[in-house]
Amino acid sequence: VTIDPAYVELRDVESNTVAAFSSRGPNINALENKPELVAPGTDLFFATQTYDPNGDLWSPTGWSAGNGASFSAALVAGAVALVKQRYPSLTTAQ
């Protein structure tokens, strides 16, 4: 696979912040993040489907950019899978 970022406009982005559309959840101190784990959900470059132009995530190039908190769940799951593959003896608590 070759990823060519020329398909996506590059722009300055603010890092180390929680997206405005992310839930902060119930907390005692308004400055605390909820949940206890955060992951990228904005300015993501990802593979997309190329067979249905009416689909939500379609691009003739097979690549797209987008935002959404739901993307972070897949990123965290993938990271956990890689860690578990490298260290198969780890328990869930670890």
**Res 8: pLDDT:** 59
User: Cα–Cα distance between 69 and 39 in angstroms, integer?
Assistant: 8
What's the whole-number mean pLDDT along residues 64-93? 86
Q: What percent of the chain has pLDDT over 70?
A: 68
Tell me the per-residue pLDDT of 32-52, one tens digit each, with 9 for 90 and over. Answer: 655 666 777 787 878 889 999
> Is residue 7 within a helix (H) or strand (E), and if so which, with residue range?
none
Calculate mean pLDDT across residues 54-67.
86
The per-residue DSSP string of 33-59 comes to -SSS-----SSEEEE-BSS-TTSTTB-
Question: For residue 41, how many other CB atoms are within 10 A of its CB?
Answer: 19
pLDDT of amino acid 89: 95
Sign of the Cα pseudo-torsion (7, 80, 76, 43, in order):
negative
